[in-house]
Chains A and B, each alone.
Chain A
C-alpha cells in the first residue's frame, strides 16, 4: 500500500508538470497581453515595453517558464500585473480558504443528506420514503446550481428576508490560515451557497447509496448473517453498510471535479471572493501567473483527491490490493 501511494505520488509529478507547461504556453499564446489594453486606457508603446521587461515577459517563453518553475520551487507563485501591491501568493491566500470552506461544507451537506436518504430509501424499499427520496434525488441532480442559487436568493433573501443574499461571512485573516470564525455571521452567509452547491452532491450520493445498499442486501452473506441470528441493526451497520459504501467512495473523485464547476458559478452568483471567481476574472485580465498558479492548484487538488479516494477504497475493501 505504502509503495503504491509513493508510486502514485511520483507519477503525479509529470502530470502536474505537463499541466503547468500547457497552461503557461496557452496563456502566453493568447492574443493580447496584460499591458496591451486598447482604447481609452491604452498604455504608450514605450511604457508597455518597460513593463513587460520588468516582469520578464520579453524573454523567450522557455526561459520564462524556467524562471516560473524556479520561483515555484521557492514557494513564490509570481507577481500580479494589475493589482501591483499584491502577489499571486497574497491572492491565493485570500481566496483559497473561501473556496475550500464552501467546498468542504457542501461535501459535508451532501453526505449528511444523501447518506441517510439513500439508506432509508433502500431499507424501506417501495415505500413512500423510497419514492420521495428517489424522485428528490433525480430532481436534485437535474437542477443546475445556476438555477437553484437564484431561486434560493429570491425565496430566502428577497421575499422572506431570512438570509443575506451575497458575500461570504468570513474574511481574511483566517484562523490557521484557512478556518473561518464560526459565528452567526459566517453561518448565515454560508447557508445558501452551500445548499446551492451541495444539493447535486447529496442527490448523487443518495442515488448511489440506495442502489449499492439494495445490491448488497440481496447478497448471500447478508442472509447468512441474519440466519445466524444477528440483530437486524448489526446486520445493516456491520455487514451491509460497510460494503455498500465502496461504490459510494468512488464517486468522491468525480465529485471533486464537479465541485470545481460549481464553485465557478456559485462564487459568481453570490459574489464570493473565492478561487473560481478569480480564475474567471484572471482570464480576461491576462494575469498570466495567477491563471497558471490557480490551474496548478486545481490540478493538485484533483490529483490528490483521487489518490485519497483510492486509499479510502482500499481501506473499505481489503480485497483490493494495489501493488
Chain B
C-alpha cells in the first residue's frame, strides 16, 4: 500500500470519528487486514487460483487426459518456451493434438499429456478439497460444539466423552482405511444407495469419497473450539436478555450465539486449509486419492519422483504449484487471524 492510500485510510478514520459513525469490530478487522500487504497479495493469489480452477478449460490448452499421439511411443517432453512463429503455426489453443501440434509450455508427462493442462486442472482437486473439507469440518464442528456447550450438563458430558474418544484415533490411518474400502467397493460395484454413491463418485473423478473420508473426523478440533466459545458467551448479558424476553433456544442459538462466535472459528478453519491440501496430496501420493486420470498434484509428483534424475520438471512444476498455494493460504490465514485478534498481532 502506498503512503497515499494510508493517509486516505487515516483520513477516513478521522472522518468516521468526526461524523460519529460507529465502527464495528468487523470493519476494524477489515481495515487491519487491508494493511497487511502480504496477506492481501495472498488473498488475491488464492482468488486467481479459484478463477483458474473454475475456468480451467480456458487456461488449459488441452484436456487433462488427452495424450499426445504424434510419436510412435509416448515420450516425455521438456518444458518448451513458445516462440511467436511456432505459436501461430500451432494455434496453441484449441488445436487438437491429433493435428500434429506438439507445443507443451511445461512439457509433457510420461503418457504424453500436457503438464501445464494437468497442473491447471489440478487446482480443481486441491481447491475443492480445501473448500469442502473446511466447510464440512466447520459445519459439523460448529453444530456439535454449539449443542454440547449450550445445553451443558449430561448432554455436554456425553458428547465431549465421544470427542475425547475420537481424539485418540489416528485420523490419517482411518482416512486411509476408508479410502481403501471405498476404492475396493468401486472396483467390486454395488447396488442401491452405495451404487448411487459410486456413480456420483466416478462422475466427480473420485472426489466424493475423498470428501467423505476427510470430513468424517476432521471436525473434532473444531467441535472443541466451538464449545469453548459457546461456554464463554453463554453467560454474557445479551444471552440472558434474550432468554428473559422468552426467546426460544433455537432463536438464541441461530440469532445470537452463532453470529457472535462464527468469526474466529472461520479464521481458525482457514488456518487448517493447508493441512487439508497436504492430506489430499499425501493420499493421492500413495494412490488413495482421486481416481486417475483426474489430475492431482500429489499424484503427479508421485508418478514422477522415480524419474526425477532425468525429468525434474515433472516433479518441480506440480510441486511449485502445491507449495505456492499452501504458502498463499498460510499467509492469508495468518493475516486474517491477526486482523481479528489484535492480541496475536505479534504472531
**Interface positions of A (Cβ within 8 A of B):** 12, 14-16, 18-19, 22-23, 26-27, 29-32, 125, 134, 138-139, 141-144, 146-147, 149-151, 153-154, 158, 207, 210-211, 214-215, 257, 260-261, 264-265, 268-269, 279-280, 283, 295, 298-299, 302-303, 306
Contacts and interface: CB of A to CB of B under 8 A. Distances in A.
A143 B319 CA distance: 8
A146 B180 contact: no
B188 interface: yes
Contacts of B298: 146
B347 A146 contact: no
A303 B319 CA distance: 33
A30 B186 CA distance: 11
Contacts of A260: 170, 172-173
A151 B316 contact: yes
A139 B327 contact: yes
A306 B177 contact: no
Interface in B49-65: none
B90 interface: no
Contacts of A268: 285-286, 302
A144 B281 contact: yes
Interface in B113-133: none
Given A31-B188, A151-B319, A15 B165 contact: yes
Contacts of A149: 305
B252 interface: no
B172 A261 contact: yes
A154 B165 CA distance: 43
Interface in B271-306: 274, 278-279, 281-282, 285-286, 288, 298, 301-302, 305
A150 B319 contact: yes
Contacts of B173: 260, 279, 295, 298-299
A283 B285 contact: no
Contact of B301 (A18, A22, A147, A214): A147
A29 B181 contact: yes
A23 B322 CA distance: 32
Contacts of A306: 167-168
Given A150-B301, A295-B173, A26 B319 contact: no
29 contacts: A14-B165, A16-B168, A19-B169, A30-B180, A125-B346, A138-B330, A144-B281, A146-B301, A146-B302, A149-B305, A150-B308, A150-B315, A154-B308, A154-B312, A211-B346, A211-B347, A215-B346, A257-B172, A260-B173, A264-B282, A265-B285, A268-B285, A268-B286, A279-B173, A283-B180, A295-B173, A298-B173, A302-B170, A303-B168
Contact of B285 (A27, A32, A146, A215): A146
Interface string B153-188: 000000000000101111111101110110011011
Contacts of B316: 150-151
Contacts of B168: 12, 15-16, 19, 299, 302-303, 306
A144 B346 contact: no
A153 B281 CA distance: 19
A302 B171 CA distance: 10
B45 interface: no
Given A154-B312, A261-B278, A144 B170 contact: no
A197 to B, nearest CB: 13
A280 B178 CA distance: 13
A253 to B, nearest CB: 9
Closest 10 pairs between A and B when the two form their complex, measured CB to CB: A147-B319, A142-B327, A31-B188, A214-B346, A142-B326, A15-B168, A150-B315, A31-B184, A298-B170, A30-B184
Nearest to A126: B346
B20 to A, nearest CB: 33
Interface centre among A16, A210, A257 (most CB of B within 10 A): A257
A22 B166 CA distance: 12
B327 A210 contact: no
B330 A142 contact: yes
Nearest to A281: B286
Contacts of A23: 177
B177 A26 contact: yes
B109 interface: no
B21 interface: no
A4 B343 CA distance: 33
A154 B309 CA distance: 7
Contacts of B343: 215
A257 B184 contact: no
Contact of B323 (A32, A147, A158): A147
Nearest to B286: A280
Nearest to B328: A142
B331 A144 contact: no
A137 B305 CA distance: 25
Contacts of A29: 181
A30 to B, nearest CB: 5
Interface string B310-342: 001001100110110011001100100000000
Contacts of A147: 301, 315, 319-320, 322-323
A127 to B, nearest CB: 14
Contact of A26 (B170, B181, B330): B181
Nearest to B331: A138
A299 B326 contact: no
A299 B185 CA distance: 26
B181 A146 contact: no
B83 interface: no
A239 to B, nearest CB: 18
Contact of A31 (B167, B187, B308, B327): B187
Interface string B235-279: 000000000000000000000000000000000000000100011
